[in-house]
Structure 1
Amino acid sequence: MDHKSFKQVGVWIDHSKAHFVGYKNGKAELIETVDSPFESMKRYEGETDDKTRFTANPLHASNNEYRKNNISQNELNEYFKLMEGKLTNFEDILLFGPGTVKEQLRNKLRDNKSFGGKWLAVQPSDKLTDNQLLAFVRDFFDNATP
C-alpha cells in the first residue's frame, strides 16, 4: 500500500525512535521507523563531572548542567517538529509506547492548529515486536470509534 493512502496511523514512540503503523480496511502495515535526534546520556570527549573546579561538593554544580538540559530540550523539540511533519497527512492518530513522550507529543499536537480537527488517542504500551505492533494497532482501530 502507498504511504499516502492511510488515514489512520498508530505511532509507537519513545525517546529513541518512533514506528509508524498505517491502518486501512482492517489491515495494519508498518510504514516507517524514524530515529530521534534526542540523546539522554551525552558525554563529550574530555568532559569531566559537573562539579566546580574548587570543590567536589555536588551542591556546587556548574553551569554545565543548565547547558546540557538546554541542548536536550532543543533536541526533543526538534524530534517533535519532525513527528508533526510526518503526522499531518493522517486523520486519526494513535500514540502509544512506554514513558511520557507520547503525552508530550499529544500536548504539542493539540497546541498546533493544523491538528485541531484530528482525532488523537494515547495508550500505554511496552516494547513490542513488529507483529505485536501491527496487532496492537489493528485491535485498537477495530474496536475504536473516532
Structure 2
Amino acid sequence: METKQFKSVGIWLDQSKAHFIGYHEGEAQFLETLISPHERIKREEGEVSDTARFSPNPSVLSNNEYRKNNIAQNELNEYYKMLEDKIAKYDDILLFGPGTAKDQFKNRLAENKSFSKKWVSVQNSDKMTDNQLLAFVRDFYKS
C-alpha cells in the first residue's frame, strides 16, 4: 500500500480510543488507532466506599472522590494532548463519534493557537463498523 500525504482527516473518537481516517481525492483510508490511557472504571485492591468513615451523615464524601476525579481528568488531558500531537499536520479535521469527547476535544482545540487556522468540524454518529467509518468520512468530504 502506497503512502499518501493526507491533508484531511476524520477522527472517530470517544474517551477510550480514536480511529484516524485519512481522506485524499475521493479515497478514505485507515491510518491508525490511538488507545486512551484513561480507564473508565478503575478499582484499586481493598477499595471501599467514598463516604467519610466517622461522619454522622452517610452522604458526606471523603477526599478520595476528589483524588479519583483529578486522576481521571489528568488521564483525559494526556489523551487529548496525544490527539493534538497526532493531528497537528492536518488542515481539515472532522471529529465524530458518540458521547461528548468530540465536543470536549473541539473546545480544547479552539483554545490552542496552533489550531486557529485549521478547519475543524464536529458531527454526531454512533458506533460504526470499519466500512461505515470509511464511508462516513468519504461522504462528508465529498459534500
TM-score (norm 2): 0.95
Q: CA RMSD in A?
A: 1.2
Separation in 2 of the partners of 1:58 and 1:38? 29
Separation in 2 of the partners of 1:61 and 1:41? 19
Classify 1:56/1:23 alpha carbon distance in 2 versus 1 (closer, same or farther; 3 Å): farther
Alignment of 1:1-146 (within 5 A): 1-2=2-3, 5-55=5-55, 57-143=57-143
Separation in 2 of the partners of 1:26 and 1:48? 54
Instruction: State the shift of 1:93 in Å.
Output: 0.1
Classify 1:98/1:56 alpha carbon distance in 2 versus 1 (closer, same or farther; 3 Å): farther
Instruction: State the shift of 1:56 in Å.
Output: 8.1
Deviations 1:98-136 (A, max 9, x none): 000001100111111111110000000000010000000
Deviations 1:12-56 (A, max 9, x none): 000110000000010000100000011121111111111122258
The one-letter amino acid paired with 1:28 is: A
DSSP 3-state at the match of 1:15: coil
The one-letter amino acid paired with 1:13 is: L
The one-letter amino acid paired with 2:48 is: T
Classify 1:62/1:21 alpha carbon distance in 2 versus 1 (closer, same or farther; 3 Å): same
Separation in 2 of the partners of 1:108 and 1:55? 39
DSSP 3-state at the match of 2:121: strand
Identity of paired residues, percent? 61
Separation in 2 of the partners of 1:120 and 1:19? 16
Separation in 1 of the partners of 2:75 and 2:39? 8
Q: Give 5+ residue unaligned stretches, structure 1.
A: none
Q: Which contiguous aligned blocks of 4+ residues in structure 1 show a shift greater than 3 angstroms?
A: 55-58
Instruction: State the shift of 1:2 in Å.
Output: 2.1
Q: How many residues align?
A: 142
Separation in 2 of the partners of 1:100 and 1:57? 34
Separation in 2 of the partners of 1:56 and 1:68? 23
Separation in 1 of the partners of 2:119 and 2:15? 23
